[in-house]
Structure 1
């Protein structure tokens, strides 16, 4: 009898092990199938938008630039998102790991928000002064950005890509003409900022043209024959293609489009209406907040930060009200110390040196991707804000912090320590580079961008200045508060412009009354919000959520709370919608108890 029981037990064990192995095999197969799906999404995404591939350091599509405005392209794009959305519905969550479940949620969000965007006719206004594809393309043209110019084939790829881009540029004119017939037009105040951006590229001086720049710096390995051939090709490209195309669009904008430019400021004055703005809020904040909720939050934050500013004004010993102090900061010559643009770059490098000894106290992992500070290219710096350009996925191209220096004698430094934290380190450079270098994230998540997370993180890092050895000068700390109130003001003026009927002038006046930026800088900012409704909301909404999560974790974990691990938990996910970040941090807190 004992022998029978023993044999039966062995059989049960064998059957159990077999079932476990079968379950394990099914899980592994499901995991492999899901990984293949994510890789396919990434691969087809690069084919759909080859410039994204170039920016990521994938150079297989360097000669491609699709006509994003064509019906054929739009159909292809819609089919792409619908295909992967349907594929996700067929995946069994029970077979996925936690990381895979996160990837599934992120992919589902990405498909849905992009499909939703395609239901609006925003392509009838394809060009503006800050966000449109022509500006991104022009950044590649100088030969110092993501588009490589190291081999003869690189140079030939760019010639082909330019031809394709000029097709898009011509389509943009066609789209704007259709928009003119149905009230889809930019405000006139934005059109006058767009015209000079094309005008400068309509200059027929070939050798000084932006698009001729790569032909002035051939690699030493090129033969004389190759140099001659490429020089002729680039001369022809600029003189006979690029310049005429830019003359055509300059004349169209100046002689036809400007006359029909809107006098209204908000997007709800166009046929896109309130529904489009609600979509933009969802897209950029990754929340379901309403315009009214955000507006009230902005007013509350502005009041709170103003009270903090009063304390700094008192510490400095300034006599007069806060608005007078704003004017003092705007015009204080001590805060405009530079005579050469190289001094500005050296100033940012010195900020980085001060921070370096403190970084490890706040972060477990540091990016390997190199980093540089550069002046914003002259063709765009008069209408551009400081910005960060990500390095390549393989780390061979550095992350670059661009700062516009149109008038070096007026370059005010009162808020520039804070700006470096946001745009460079530990802001965008850490957040983007660590995601790109991750061994855990699937490729498609390494290049995703959700503004509430990305800009929210960058704004959150501004508060770390004192911990990193900065803000010793009260003016610099006031600069941090100024940039924070600037983002709080955005909540008020963006919703004011696009949901409450505010004019451009009302928004400028509100900003002037609540921050220390110059009127010219504020005007550029307000026009930025007019061009891309909702984007400006992402910073403060994201920052407040990350602050909330940090406070919650500190309260629940007490002495077990580790700031370095908290930052690691936030950064290791890459860019994700805020609701997914909140779920992740809450799970980490519970596991850490």
Structure 2
């Protein structure tokens, strides 16, 4: 049933295109060259525009030309960007797709998919909710994690950003006031977490500010006198501009905004909310699945995974039922570290354990390195167990696997292997690093991120631990099932809350009944799904598609199937919609069959 539900139409690139009359080879080549040149000019100009208009995103991608400023979040600037997106779509449609090479047709179709949906989502005016409980202008200091701070110029750029923060906060407040007028407001249960985040920016001593952190240790290459001058400028900017601006923003938030936030949690309660949730489900899963279909897939997966958990419970000789086993896994001290430093060291050691086994499941190993870091303290209480931050596209910055050390007594050892396989290697780090290193792709393809592909790959990567011989402990296998269950539960609770009228507590209870994850994690996860409707659907849907394609490849190729070649084939497209991945893998299977027969 899952295969039937998950079947999606082939991408537009796979439909035949017929010409009214044959062209001569020379004319066809000229047309192809002209169309390709126009296409890549558009890619280049849009790439530059997006970097210029989003300095933060440029920095994440490793381009630091715009490090001295923030994105302009005025309504006028937003409207200009939206108009430019519409024009980019129109310019793309003016290019003759039929005249392009197969490689450029794939580039065309991927860009078309992105631009069509960028324009479609304009109707939902998401900018009217510019902050969330997991981030926003109140945690703007976090970008310092990926900035270089190697020269005096880098520090001057940061000081320029400090001086410009009051304008950013004013623009953000203006958008929030417009959201109040339009009835586009986030749930109160999430926004109640934000005052503490704002308060963390209001300090008496400027050196205690999170924005001052880069100045605590400066490179020796900057002369001592210049270091002192830069530190003085930073303290003045924080005391004179940053802190007063956040203090005023905090008053606005608590007196004017928070009381007007909504008591409901469903995206369908927003203006045009049903259409919005349908759009988000399609955007994140890159499929045409309905909320009801996704909900049913989730229920089926929950039942399947529970059966596997029961087998682990029996294997370890636990005498109680599955609910009692979950409680044992959540509470027994043997499953937890007491000290955050010990937890970080264990994550780092686990990464080193995984690395040498990668050759068992891949032929191509990315060149870009990765590291393991702690999630910053100021956001750790309100964020997830871990996340991955990609390296720079040009290779100038490594990727980093960020782990949550807040309350180590809530971070069980049995989840660490599956989590590391997903977030670091061979999960997100391989997916991003391979994409960045693919030759000949336009830059937007090397950095594109389709959630169903990327998160589906991450969840699929958790299972590769079996192929690598890593799951030799039954509790680690329980952790893998727990993480698989986590993503199956998401299908049920996300659609439940946003399309079926479930309450927040109902979603928490369903999660707790079917997963050994701790209550701290469960509550944070449920709140994330409330804040980010539809995004959580992509993981399991993507994993099911990749797993089904692997089964298909093994069946079709028989003894000629090699998991290393299959995994390389999945990653060699870069991030694409699932229907495009499916077409690519099937073409790869056909090519292998031809080679071996």
Distance in 2 separating the partners of 1:269 and 1:30: 45
The aligned runs of 1:133-282 (5 Å cut-off) are: 134-135=138-139, 137-141=140-144, 145-282=145-282
The alpha-carbon deviation at position 487 of structure 1 amounts to 0.5
Match of 1:119 among 120, 123, 129: 123
Distance in 2 separating the partners of 1:20 and 1:466: 51
Superposition CA RMSD, Å: 1.8
Matched with 2:48 is: 43
Distance in 2 separating the partners of 1:370 and 1:357: 14
The aligned runs of 1:289-328 (5 Å cut-off) are: 289-328=289-328
- Indicate the SS of the match to 1:401: strand
Over 3 Å counting, the alpha-carbon distance change for 1:519 and 1:410 in structure 2 is closer
Verify the 8 A CA contact 2:212 2:234 in the aligned structure 1: yes
Distance in 1 separating the partners of 2:105 and 2:204: 55
Matched with 1:565 is: 565
Over 3 Å counting, the alpha-carbon distance change for 1:174 and 1:79 in structure 2 is closer
| Bigger Cα displacement from structure 2, 264-273 vs 526-535 | 264-273
Distance in 2 separating the partners of 1:421 and 1:445: 24
Matched with 1:365 is: 364
Deviations 1:373-393 (A, max 9, x none): 011100100111110001112
Matched with 1:11 is: none
Deviations 1:155-210 (A, max 9, x none): 11122233444323222222222333443222221111122111111122211211
The alpha-carbon deviation at position 22 of structure 1 amounts to 5.2
Verify the 8 A CA contact 1:66 1:73 in the aligned structure 2: no
Structure 1 length as normaliser, TM-score? 0.93
| Bigger Cα displacement from structure 2, 95-104 vs 323-332 | 95-104
| Bigger Cα displacement from structure 2, 458-467 vs 408-417 | 408-417
Verify the 8 A CA contact 1:131 1:531 in the aligned structure 2: no
Over 3 Å counting, the alpha-carbon distance change for 1:423 and 1:294 in structure 2 is same
Distance in 2 separating the partners of 1:448 and 1:262: 34
Over 3 Å counting, the alpha-carbon distance change for 1:37 and 1:506 in structure 2 is same
Distance in 2 separating the partners of 1:410 and 1:44: 43
Matched with 2:134 is: 130
Matched with 1:376 is: 375
The alpha-carbon deviation at position 25 of structure 1 amounts to 4.3
- Indicate the SS of the match to 1:415: helix
Matched with 1:488 is: 488
Distance in 2 separating the partners of 1:491 and 1:535: 10
The alpha-carbon deviation at position 583 of structure 1 amounts to 1.2
Distance in 1 separating the partners of 2:138 and 2:65: 21
Distance in 2 separating the partners of 1:164 and 1:584: 46
Deviations 1:297-339 (A, max 9, x none): 1111111111111100110111121111111100011111x23
The alpha-carbon deviation at position 19 of structure 1 amounts to 5.6
Structure 2 length as normaliser, TM-score? 0.92
Larger Rg: 1
| Bigger Cα displacement from structure 2, 489-498 vs 560-569 | 560-569
Matched with 1:56 is: 61
Match of 2:38 among 24, 33, 42: 33
User: Gaps (5+ residues) in structure 1?
Assistant: 1-17
Distance in 1 separating the partners of 2:252 and 2:268: 25
- Indicate the SS of the match to 1:481: helix
Verify the 8 A CA contact 2:373 2:401 in the aligned structure 1: yes
Distance in 2 separating the partners of 1:133 and 1:103: 34
The alpha-carbon deviation at position 133 of structure 1 amounts to 5.5
Distance in 2 separating the partners of 1:246 and 1:554: 57
- Indicate the SS of the match to 1:591: helix
Verify the 8 A CA contact 1:390 1:398 in the aligned structure 2: yes
Over 3 Å counting, the alpha-carbon distance change for 1:21 and 1:178 in structure 2 is closer
Matched with 1:108 is: 112
Matched with 2:338 is: 339
- Indicate the SS of the match to 1:283: helix
